[in-house]
Structure 1
Amino acid sequence: MTETDARTAWRTYAVGGLPPLLETALSCFVEHGYHGTTIRTVASRAGLSVPGLYHHYASKQALLVAIVSHAMDELWRRSTAALEEAGDDVRRRLDLLVECLVLFHAHRRDLAFIASSEIRSLTGEARTTYIAARDRQQRLMDRVIEDGVARRVFTTPYPREAARAVVTMCTGVSQWYRAEGEHTPQALAERYRAMVRMTVGAS
């Protein structure tokens, strides 16, 4: 892989992305919800005994924590790679970060949906860690839009609120996107890039 290929790999998605046992747990959580899923159900679908599953993960909470951690780590890696590709051009930084968010929430729809919707099921330190990762991710968009306003490239008088609105719009893709629908993830990302430019008042 060339240096350019490595830098742009954030757009590329393989099928799945999680270890098989976590993929099985994710499917169960999507189908039944976290609280509606039993360890026995996950073990059965994974072809394991309950003790066999506990050998890998100590509890259902541990499965959820691993899934959520994977989601936030992958999104962070892809987002920082997108910004690295964009360089110092603030318009391009906005475009590529929006593209990254939309692609992730379309290609990793189930993963992103559970990571967002089941925050209520995380407990203790796991919840604190997730919120910190989510806030760190949000600050990427905050900084891009604030920088664009400071450079007088974006004209929104509400940069912080605009940043939150943009991230909410992009992450919401996981709630409704379907691969068999009207748009490919890339086509959808292009539309979102255009809408976001209007939102921030890009000159």
Structure 2
Amino acid sequence: MATTNGRAEILRAARITFARHGFDGASIRDIAQEAGLSLSALYYYFPSKQDALRELIHNAFSWFSERASATVEAIGSDPVERISVLVRFTVRYRSMYRQISRVILRDTERLNADSFSLIRELQKESRNIFAGVVEEGRASGVFAVESAETASRAILSIVNAIPLWFSEDGDMTIDDLEREYTRFSLRLLAHDPDDAELDRLLALPLEDVEDFSGRLDGTAAPIKG
């Protein structure tokens, strides 16, 4: 009998397998072996590895957009505070969930046309959260940038690269990353915080990044279509 745990276990196995071998290098049999399930059990939930990849990436982007928006909206109207919590939240997400982040960075373009179109819209939605906050600061004169879109892409490009190099066994902790990337991002926007201001910004509350683990492994309802 099919179970939610079976679906979650397959998504967990797909995430590990895609991160290890890449989408092209992974087979449906590899995923089944990692999950400890038969091929028939895997096919019950996912007719192809394309379907598993799409659900993994869809879950990741959907959750990120929901929680990033909630993080920003829980803060007041100050653009400096709003972009700071957004950067910090994204740094924690990328550094704590490196496997799925690497899959997104490397394998999104391996999706078929229909799935890729769906994910592109989710990518745009998450990018617009950043662009909207940067535009608030630009319009109010707090951030000295000509294009909120370009500035937000620049911030995202450096933050999204964290899972390509970061290791918890290295010289930097996640708290170190949070501090440095918040400072980098604000300087990119022509706002250079002193240590006291940076400490205050780092003390602002965030959404719980660890809450993503259930969504990541498919305990949420599967996507349709």
Shorter-chain TM band: 0.7 to 0.9
For residues 91 and 195 of structure 1, the distance between their equivalents in structure 2, rounded to whole angstroms, comes to: 13
Higher relative contact order (CA 8 A, sep 6+): 2
Offset, 1:94: 0.6
The 5-angstrom pairing of residues 12-31 of structure 1 reads 19-31=8-20
Contact 1:159 1:200 in 2 (8 A): no
Offset, 1:115: 1.4
Report what 2:105 is aligned to: 116
Please say if 1:155 is aligned against 2:166.
no
Range moving further from structure 2, 94-103 or 76-85: 76-85
Report what 2:216 is aligned to: none
Report what 2:24 is aligned to: 35
Report what 1:200 is aligned to: 189
Percent of paired sites with the same residue: 24
For residues 130 and 49 of structure 2, the distance between their equivalents in structure 1, rounded to whole angstroms, comes to: 33
Report what 2:117 is aligned to: 128
Kindly provide the CA deviation profile for residues 25-50 of structure 1, in whole angstroms up to 9, marking residues without a partner as x: 11111111111111111111211111
Report what 1:138 is aligned to: 127
The 5-angstrom pairing of residues 161-176 of structure 1 reads 161-176=150-165
For residues 52 and 196 of structure 1, the distance between their equivalents in structure 2, rounded to whole angstroms, comes to: 46
Report what 1:75 is aligned to: 64
Residue in structure 2 matching 1:47, options 17, 36, 46: 36
Unaligned 5+ residue runs, structure 1?
1-17
Q: Which amino acid aligns with 1:72?
A: F
For residues 149 and 61 of structure 2, the distance between their equivalents in structure 1, rounded to whole angstroms, comes to: 21
Query: What is the count of residue pairs matched by the alignment?
Result: 186
For residues 146 and 185 of structure 2, the distance between their equivalents in structure 1, rounded to whole angstroms, comes to: 15
TM-score normalized with structure 2 length: 0.79
Unaligned 5+ residue runs, structure 2?
1-6, 193-225
Residue in structure 2 matching 1:187, options 160, 163, 176: 176
Contact 1:99 1:193 in 2 (8 A): yes
TM-score normalized with structure 1 length: 0.87
For residues 180 and 74 of structure 2, the distance between their equivalents in structure 1, rounded to whole angstroms, comes to: 20
Kindly provide the CA deviation profile for residues 159-191 of structure 1, in whole angstroms up to 9, marking residues without a partner as x: 321111001111111211112122222220111
